[in-house]
Amino acid sequence: MNTFMTLQSYGSKSAKANLAVQKRIQSIENSISTTKEDSFIYKLNHNCNSEIQVDNDALTLIQFGKDISEKTDGALNIALYPVIKAWGFTTGEYRIPETAELSSLISCTNYKQIQINNDIVSLAPNMEIDLGALGKGSAGDEALKILKEYGIKSALLDLGGNIQALGTKTDGNKWTIGIKSPWGDGNAVAGVKIDNQAVVTSGGYERFFTGEDGKNYIHIFDGKTGMPVENDIASVTIIAHSGLYADALSTSLFVMGLEKAVDFWKKNQDFEMIIITKDKKLYFTASLKEDLIVKYNFLETNMID
Ligand code: AMP
Ligand code: MG
């Protein structure tokens, strides 16, 4: 998944459990990678119009990704891969595509055209999918399942910044997870105490390039325009029991912007969130009140309820 993983687990079988987790995550990667030629996603993306039989990992994620794409009205769009490629985020050979190129690519990113029939998936011509916005969250959930099978009751997984906790720390206290400064200074601007939850952040500071025009272009895209997202949000952190849900929503709510993200929370209320805006304000959902530690001197700290 192009990132580092750190796993701390406590219990007599933790060494064996950690190895099993590593294997499981590798197998998910082999199934959903966009670049490994044997993966199901690679086969789907390179066999225009054909029906591909996929394994359970790919199937679950494609179905979930399609559902969240619908639920967020395309803020998340797992079919945006042609746009992401055009900007060079898949190879590191960054470029700024012309508007005409983007419009033509957008016409092949309609996630409603992903057909799923039992374990057979097919895409419309020129469509390509990418599960990068939710794969790490799902891998975290699977990792925790394995740790539980090994009788582990306390563990903390950091999968490229996606944090997932199993139980509490061994002393019974909650884990404290730092929320990174979105201004690239390496500090934690806040902390949140959790047990048995995932904490997933999406932010423009994570991956971007600076164009010849001096502007920064980030790795999260608005599917309506094909342009990197530019709104009032610096980072969105989602706290939820499912890592998959938290990962999918962190990306989705980042794309939506503050107002729509708050509306989405009000409508669903099955997750908690911390939003940091570019104008240095912090927003958090009310249930986090006791568990949030604010370290940075934000211009405003607002509770959402
Ligand atoms: P995350 O770090 O979880 O927010 O996911 C960001 C990754 O998801 C990017 O690196 C792209 O591969 C992909 N991506 C970017 N924009 C979108 C979007 N609007 N919907 C779905 N995936 C996206
Ligand atoms: Mg995500």
Express each pLDDT in 19-30 by its tens digit: 999 999 999 999
Which of 61, 219, 250 most suits a substitution to test ligand 1, by most atoms within 8 Å of the C-beta? 219
Position in ligand 1 atom list of the atom nearest CA 134: 3
157 by Cβ neighbours in 10 Å (0-12 / 13-18 / 19+) ranks as: buried
Give residues with Cβ within 8 angstroms of 181, minimum separation 6.
187, 188, 189, 296
Q: Assess whether pLDDT exceeds 80 at residue 281.
A: yes
The Å distance, Cα 147 to ligand 2 centre, comes to 23
Determine the pLDDT at residue 206.
87
Q: What is the number of the ligand closest to the CA of 229?
A: 1
Which of 69, 70, 80, 134 most suits a substitution to test ligand 1, by most atoms within 8 Å of the C-beta? 80
Q: Please answer whether residues 182 and 235 qualify as being in contact, where contact means their C-beta atoms are separated by less than 8 angstroms.
A: yes
Q: State the Cα–Cα distance between residues 106 and 82, nearest whole angstrom.
A: 8
Q: State the Cα–Cα distance between residues 198 and 164, nearest whole angstrom.
A: 4
Determine the pLDDT at residue 1.
78
Beta bridge partners of 281: 300
Q: Whose CA is nearest to atom 12 of ligand 1?
A: 132
Q: State the Cα–Cα distance between residues 292 and 178, nearest whole angstrom.
A: 10
Position in ligand 1 atom list of the atom nearest CA 251: 4
Confidence of residue 265 (pLDDT cuts 50, 70, 90): very high
Q: State the Cα–Cα distance between residues 166 and 141, nearest whole angstrom.
A: 10
The Å distance, Cα 223 to ligand 2 centre, comes to 15
Determine the pLDDT at residue 211.
92
Q: Which helix (H) or strand (E) holds 125?
A: none
Would you call 110 helix, strand, or coil by DSSP?
coil
Determine the pLDDT at residue 112.
97
Phi, psi at 44, each rounded to 5° = -60, -45
The Å distance, Cα 13 to ligand 2 centre, comes to 31
Q: Please answer whether residues 109 and 127 qualify as being in contact, where contact means their C-beta atoms are separated by less than 8 angstroms.
A: yes
Q: State the Cα–Cα distance between residues 63 and 205, nearest whole angstrom.
A: 29
Q: Which residue in the block uniquely carries the two structure tokens 């502007």? A: 215
Determine the pLDDT at residue 48.
75
For the segment 29-74, what is each residue's pLDDT rounded down to a tens digit? 999 999 999 999 999 999 877 899 999 999 999 999 999 999 999 9
Q: How many CB atoms lie within 10 A of CB 150?
A: 18
Confidence of residue 278 (pLDDT cuts 50, 70, 90): very high
Confidence of residue 286 (pLDDT cuts 50, 70, 90): very high
Q: Kindly tell me the number of DSSP H helices and DSSP E strands found in the chain.
A: 8, 18
Position in ligand 1 atom list of the atom nearest CA 250: 4
Determine the pLDDT at residue 49.
72
Q: What is the number of the ligand closest to the CA of 35?
A: 1
Q: State the Cα–Cα distance between residues 291 and 193, nearest whole angstrom.
A: 5
Determine the pLDDT at residue 17.
96
Q: What is the number of the ligand closest to the CA of 76?
A: 1
The Å distance, Cα 83 to ligand 2 centre, comes to 17
Q: Which residues surround ligand 1 with Cβ inside 6 Å?
A: 76-78, 80, 84, 130, 132-133, 202, 219-221, 223, 247, 250-251, 255
Q: Assess whether pLDDT exceeds 90 at residue 161.
A: no
Determine the pLDDT at residue 184.
84
Determine the pLDDT at residue 111.
97
Confidence of residue 2 (pLDDT cuts 50, 70, 90): confident
The Å distance, Cα 241 to ligand 1 centre, comes to 21
Q: How many CB atoms lie within 10 A of CB 118?
A: 7
Confidence of residue 3 (pLDDT cuts 50, 70, 90): confident
For the segment 176-219, what is each residue's pLDDT rounded down to a tens digit? 999 999 998 889 999 999 999 999 999 998 899 999 999 999 99
Q: What is the number of the ligand closest to the CA of 2?
A: 1
CA torsion angle 46 221 198 121 (round to 10)? -30
The Å distance, Cα 216 to ligand 2 centre, comes to 20
**Within the chain, what is the greatest distance between any pair of CA atoms?**
59
